[in-house]
Amino acid sequence: MGPGPSDVHPRVLKAMSTPLIGHLDPEFVEIMNEIKEMTQQTFQTKNHLTFVVSAPGSAGMETCLVNLLEPGDEAIICIHGVFGGRMTDIAERCGAKVTRVEADWGTPIDPAQVQVALNHVKKPKMVAIVHAETSTGVLQPLEEISEMARNAGALMVVDAVTSYCGTDLKVDEWGIDAIYSGTQKCLSAPPGLSPVSFSQKAVHVLEHRKTKVQSWFLDLSLVRNYWAGAKRAYHHTAPVSAMFALREALQLVLEEGLENRFNRHRNQHELLKDGLISLGFEFLVDKEFRLPMLNAVKVPDGVDEALVRRRLLEEYNIEIGGGLGKFAGSLWRIGLMGESATSNHVNMLLSALKTIL
């Protein structure tokens, strides 16, 4: 019940034990096609360049940035937690000139500040932002900022590592040009893969680069040929067992239905919230911007937060996360993601916390 990985359905674990086949086997290519189609459905997009990077969500972040940025490009990056800062680091390594738009940790980015940055930057290449900031529990509204980016001629790039398959995420309707996620959170698959999707506008930028992508492994002009067409071009040996698991996890999501799944995460968040408040806890984030799947809770005064987390793990087999960065030692991050978003999980945690405290 931490910030990921989440619990995994037995069907997903069983799929991982399927005997291996080759990564260019016709049967595996068909599985890749199924994964691509289900990834499009869960991202709510028709983007043709939608696939899964053979590495965790951080590699999805890097895939988006290294392919779309070249030396000298101007990027506006929104920072309201750890992962906006990580995007900034990668963009600067690409040689981009970064303009930061920052908000206090625990609060969302103010769209007005993004507009100020867009007015200041001569030729913005992209606006990048975290939809669900795992370090603080903030759910960032995207539509207004996406419209601003589009009006300025910039690409809209979104980190959806924690929000994907747990709350509404409308890639096409919201005008998102590049998006990445991970498999180990609300999708409830093993860690190690990163679903990504690129709009036609983003593909156009990729196809008209003046310089080579700095990463060979993440270069979309190469990787895309492994995921498209009747004859697949060898690029790398895909993690076959992880792909089997991912296909099963995506099928579980679609069997439940996206809206039902989103409602389940909201409902379990409400159950947890009511229980924590009754025990005297306070949330870091205002109600309007709280992530249902990642609950940032202030540690009460006089409580040894590390000791409580250790006792939860050792005595009750429950894992929750500590704070990151400036919140280390003063915050708990309680995950309600995918298969971990159940009333049983919530009630066990509340009972254990009550006993320990």
**Are 92 and 229 in a shared domain?**
yes
The rounded distance, in Å, linking the Cα atoms of 51 and 238 is 12
Q: Are strands 132-133 and 49-53 parallel, antiparallel or unpaired?
A: unpaired
List CB contacts of 232: < 8 A, sequence separation 6 or more: 24, 29, 32, 225, 226
> What is the band of 279 on the pLDDT scale with cuts at 50, 70, 90?
very high
CATH of residue 341 = 3.90.1150.10
Mean of the per-residue pLDDT values for the chain?
97
Q: Which domain holds residue 23?
A: 10-254
- In the chain, what are the helix, strand and coil shares in percent, each to the nearest 5? 45, 15, 40
> Which range has the worst mean pLDDT, 1-5, 232-236, 269-273?
232-236
Q: Does residue 5 have a cis peptide bond before it, meaning omega lies within 30 degrees of 0? A: yes
Q: So what's the pLDDT on residue 229?
A: 75
CATH of residue 246 = 3.40.640.10
Cα–Cα nearest to 339, from 60, 9, 5, 3? 9
- What is the tally of structural domains in the chain? 2
* CB-CB neighbours of 190 under 10 Å: 19
Q: So what's the pLDDT on residue 230?
A: 72
Q: Considering 199, 219, 254, which residue would you say is the last residue of a domain?
A: 254
Q: What is the mean pLDDT of residues 194-222?
A: 97
pLDDT digits (tens, 9 = 90+) for 76-92: 999 999 999 999 999 99
Q: So what's the pLDDT on residue 228?
A: 87
Cα–Cα nearest to 122, from 148, 152, 150, 143? 152
The answer on pLDDT for 54 being more than 80 is: yes
Report the largest interatomic distance among the alpha carbons of the chain, rounded to a whole angstrom. 63
Q: So what's the pLDDT on residue 232?
A: 87
**Are 204 and 305 in a shared domain?**
no
Q: Considering 225, 254, 283, which residue would you say is the last residue of a domain?
A: 254
Q: What is the mean pLDDT of residues 91-120?
A: 98
The answer on pLDDT for 251 being more than 80 is: yes
The rounded distance, in Å, linking the Cα atoms of 167 and 258 is 8
pTM > 0.95: yes
